[in-house]
Structure 1
Amino acid sequence: MTGPFQGSLLDCWDETGPRELGSSVRRTRLAHGAWIDVRPSWIAGADALFERLAETVPWRAERRHMYDRVVDVPRLLAFYDEDDPLPDPVLDEAKAALNTHYQAELGEPFRTAGLCLYRDGRDSVAWHGDTIGRGRTEDTMVAIISVGDPRALLLRPRGGGPTIKHDLGHGDLIVMGGSCQRTWEHAVPKSTRALGPRISIQFRPRNVR
């Protein structure tokens, strides 16, 4: 299913789950009322979590209409609605920790989890914002945990402007908040370099996709 995965020498195998947030989170204010929080290496035992998710999640391939043809989605997908059990206890712990840290600011809990498996550098996601549902008109948050080999996550203002790059993997956390989904776009570009697989776990509030 995937190419070779190179574990991190910094990953701590004798503990698992989310580490503390609090003051370890770095917030960057963006234009138009958007912001991002970054917490590197948030998930302890992230490489083991990657291996479990790669093997146990019921990954599916999708095809979508694009212009005048149907094309393969260049990544594998899984989605867990708010009443679905998550595929690993570490994800339950992570969602609970995110809710504790962000609920006062967000005003509601994270409820759903979408997972994407990028098998190698050929897998990608094009520029977009999560604007299906309330994200089109309301401020919201999307929290993304990356496990596996790092991949570049790019952000840019809608309509063009300087691009921000974060290489995310091995348990890193990024949270996009404020107006980010409707005033900025993000993407995971293709790469010609030899890259190992990565899984992103996206936690969202109700009716945000």
Structure 2
Amino acid sequence: MIFTVGGIKGGTGKTTISTNLAIWLSRQGADVLLVDADEQESASDFTAWRDETYQGQLGYTLVQLTGGAVRRQIEQLRPKYDHIVIDTGGRDTASQRAALFVSDVYLLPFAPRSYEIWTLSKVLALLGEVQPGRATPLQIYSFLNKADTRGVDNTEATEVLRENVELNYVDFPVVTRKAFATAASKGLSVFEAAPHDDKAIAELESLFRHVTHLAK
């Protein structure tokens, strides 16, 4: 299965989702490739910190790809891995478009703020261009990331996402928690960091299990 974590707006926590997903899949016994297709190279930085922590025992393989090379190389690498996770930047880039042509699943994290939701029309326009060029429809799942513990912003964002049925909103929000930043600073997922944040673990576990079950 090939997952692309993307969107049009930066700051929605795409790399956090990508790296935690790659590690979660590897902890299920899968052979995982993490592709850094973001010019900011956040997934690569995370992996460098992880290498310092685990001294080469990453649990996944990392490659950096950009532009059209994303599509070409992923097509060649697909048979070698159980799963591929592609981390793309928060803009409509050639890298993200290339990724969407070879992916099975498109994960769209949205932060519950009005200016994040305004990007929906751009996301829908992008999908309107990509979907007709694919042999099979891209599976799309949107969700709240960096959500508030509670509040009207979550509710309003959820309502807007539900209205856009093309984005297939899944109600498994991931709340803003210090555990994510603390773990990432050591190249760790929240599944590995100590002390455990049971709420952060449960939120990601629920999201990933739901999405991977739907995508089978």
Do both share a fold (TM > 0.5)? no
Which one has a larger percent strand, Structure 1 or Structure 2? 1
Quick check: which one's helix share is greater?
2
Q: Which structure is richer in relative contact order (CA contacts within 8 A, separation 6 or more)? A: 1
TM-score range, shorter chain: under 0.3
> TM-score scaled to structure 1, two decimals?
0.25
